[in-house]
Amino acid sequence: MTITSKREEATEQMAGTSGMPTANFVPDALSRSSEETGKVVRSGEPTSTFWHFADFRWHGEFLHTETLPTSQVNDFSQVAVSICELDANSRPFIGNARLEVYNVAPFRDGRIIVRGNVEWQSDLNVRLNYIIVN
């Protein structure tokens, strides 16, 4: 698990994007092109569903990296992430702090990077909850 502040994260701008290049292209055998849009389309029945969570202390904006086995996460994984505050017993609750997940990106090497924010003046115990569908 890696957590970095947005301010510490150096990015190189790729033309037409907001930061570092992360696009990985779909092999032709796994994709089909939409004649209407020209965009790559991949769909089908889910073959697996996993869940995961990560607890940490933080305040301010963050990039959180979690690495799972590649059998659970790849470029085409559908990953939903929620965030909640934890009480002194590590149980989820809703406090006064605003917690946000901004972006989620899965990678073929099993990494999932989450950009988010813990809007509070000091570190809080928080949990990221992941649902991963392949």
Q: Residue 127: beta bridge partners? A: 55, 84
Give the chain's largest Cα–Cα span.
54
Q: For 9-35, what is each residue's pLDDT tens digit?
A: 444 444 444 444 444 444 444 444 455
**Residue from 128, 129, 134 nearest 110 by CA:** 134
CATH number assigned to the domain with residue range 49-133, chosen from the 4 options 1.10.1740, 2.60.40, 1.10.405, 3.90.70 = 2.60.40
Q: Could you tell me what percent of the chain has a pLDDT over 90?
A: 60
pTM score of the predicted model = 0.72
